[in-house]
Chains A and B, each alone.
Chain A
């Protein structure tokens, strides 16, 4: 069946380092992916999206990479800051099945 899963439930990085959060999907019909960030006690917020006709998309300090061959999506955060500490979810084509997410903790 369809699924959107995350490789790691938690990720801890040092402030200033780059972070990479991964997501796998199983339905090759997917054509659109979104990353959301959820800070403690708040609702998820849109970070960046990517369509399947792209391999890479860059935002402010964030880059999303899409590897359709292995059905893998990653979110890269450059120069991670304490304010990046949150749970990150990937969503496939408005599949609305976010999965458990990856909790990113940034150590000062």
Chain B
């Protein structure tokens, strides 16, 4: 158990809809990262937050947005969903925003868009 909690574990929705994925980082971790993993693909970095502020941005679509709240949990919002958005979405956390140190990953939220 990494200490990172993601909900929901599974989500099935239709094209055009909007969903919110939630992540609770490990206790004490200030940084939260979001990744997308399509079937048999690598991890695609989406965005990072540190202590409530956006720290780094990857290949995140404009239809997607995220935020980190004062209690440090984070939400990833996916809107105008397309079939290609079906993927595993992982959240990871770390203590700091430094360039070293491991990331602790949650078990992921599996999104299926029909």
B-binding residues in A (CB < 8 A) = 31-32, 34, 36, 42-46, 49, 51, 89, 93-94, 96-101
Q: Contacting chain A: which of B38-46, B63-71, B77-85? A: B38-46
A-B contact pairs, 13 of them (CB 8 A): A42-B107, A43-B90, A44-B105, A46-B102, A51-B100, A93-B99, A94-B99, A94-B101, A96-B56, A97-B45, A98-B43, A101-B42, A101-B43
Question: In this assembly, does B12 line the interface, its C-beta being within 8 Å of a C-beta of chain A?
Answer: no
Number of interface residues of B (CB under 8 A): 24
A-B contact count (CB 8 A): 54
Other-chain contact of B42, A32, A34, A51, A99 (Cβ < 8 Å): A99
Q: Is the interface of A mostly helix, strand, loop or mixed?
A: loop
Chain A residues positioned under 8 Å from B35 (CB to CB): 96
CA distance A34 to B41 in the complex (A): 19
